Amino acid sequence: MAVDFNNRRKYQRVLLEVEYSLRVAEEEYIGITGNVSLGGVYLQTLEPTLAESMLNEPALISLNLEGEILTALCTVVFIGGYSIPYPEGVGIAFANENDEELHKLSLFLVNKLCY
Alpha-carbon gap, residue 70 to 105, rounded angstroms? 7
- pLDDT of residue 3 exceeding 50: no
Q: What percent of the chain has pLDDT over 70?
A: 84
The CATH homologous superfamily for domain 14-114 is predicted glycosyltransferase like domains (2.40.10.220)
**Single pTM value for the model:** 0.83
Q: What percent of the chain has pLDDT over 90?
A: 49
- pLDDT of residue 4 exceeding 50: no
Domain residue ranges in the chain = 14-114
Q: What is the pLDDT of residues 55-77, one digit of tens each?
A: 999 999 999 999 999 999 999 99
Residue 58 preceded by cis peptide, ω within 30: no
Residue 46: φ, ψ to 5° = -150, 125
- pLDDT of residue 112 exceeding 70: yes
Task: Give the chain as a 3 state SS string.
Answer: CCCCCCCCCCCCCEECCCEEEEEECCEEEEEEEEEECCCEEEECCCECCCCHHHCCCEEEEEEEECCEEEEEEEEEEEECCCCCCCCCCEEEEECCCCCHHHHHHHHHHHHHHHC
